[in-house]
Amino acid sequence: MPVTLGHEVAGHLDDGSAVAVWPLVACGTCDRCTAGEVSQCRTGPGRVYGIGRDGGMADELVVDPACIVPLPDGLGVGDAALVEPIACGVHALRRGGMRSGERVAVVGAGAIGLGAAAAARWMDGSVDIAARHPAQRQAAEQIGVGPDPGGEYDVVVDAAGTEAAIAKCVELVRPGGTITLLASYWEPVAFPQFFTMKEPVLVGANMHGRDATGTDMEAAARMLADLPEVSRAMITHRFPLERAREAFTVAADRAAGAIKVVLEP
Ligand SMILES: [Zn+2]
């Protein structure tokens, strides 16, 4: 892409205060923004830092003041790059209407899936996650979510984006429950035969937004402050910016144990 990457960003302002960056810059004027649904902004990803314009893999980044997310006590700047991916999980659970005490299954245990599982636990759910690699299973255990989903769940989150994951979601959802599609679908996927017999509610989730209680980014930051074990479990590697090439190689090798790799300028 013809931009500097990096949409999962934390850093210091000129005055020294530690912040995360909400990379989504909604237009604020289209019909969806006016309705309060900034994640559905008509301008799409072109205004997102690190995707449509220069992002955070740099020594300095200039952002709109509206994108500044002050960090709560208990969350260090070195862990706060996790705020953005976890906000995606918070958003997916809110979109899925998850309520306290519900059973939640997450299919896929990359950073997005683990973050969603942690958020569901923080939102007082009973959570199990389907993981592929040993390091992911270990991280899930550290976060306090169960392995190997079985039985029925009120809310099932697809954080894998494959046809097998969709089939698993349909298998795990209770009749009338919700399947939240949090993954990126790089290929077309088919749904299993007769999947509507359970009458599942299918909900798409894109990035993050806000509701009456605040923004998903703020909620994710509070969650990371409340549950410090999440950062410890999810950040498996740290590299200085000048070793970015090596960092990408490590990040690409999930089987070798990478979950989230942080670049530190
Ligand atoms: Zn808009």
Tell me how far the alpha carbon of residue 42 lies from the centroid of ligand 1, in angstroms.
5
Is the four-CA dihedral 112, 232, 136, 9 of positive or negative sign?
Answer: positive
- Going from the Cα of 43 to the center of ligand 1, the distance in angstroms, rounded, reads 6
Return the closest-CA partner of residue 260 out of 65, 26, 79, 48. Answer: 79
For residue 49, give the DSSP letter. B
Residues with CB under 5 A from ligand 1 (ion): 26-27, 30, 33, 41
Cα 94 to middle of ligand 1, angstroms: 20
pLDDT at 257: 87
* pTM confidence score: 0.95
156, HSE (Cβ side, Cα atoms, 13 Å): 28
Segments in the chain below pLDDT 50: none
11 CA distance to ligand 1 middle (Å): 26
For residue 256, what pLDDT is reported?
A: 78
- Residue 46 is predicted with a pLDDT of 86
pLDDT of residue 1: 77
Amino acid letter at 92? A
pLDDT attached to residue 253: 85
Which contacts of 138-141 are long-range, i.e. CB under 8 A and separated by 24 or more positions?
138/233, 139/109, 139/114, 139/233, 139/234, 139/236, 139/259, 140/109, 140/114, 140/233
The half-sphere exposure of 17 on its side-chain side, counting CA atoms within 13 A, is 10
113 CA from centroid of ligand 1 (Å): 27
Ligand 1 centroid to Cα of residue 34, in Å, is 7
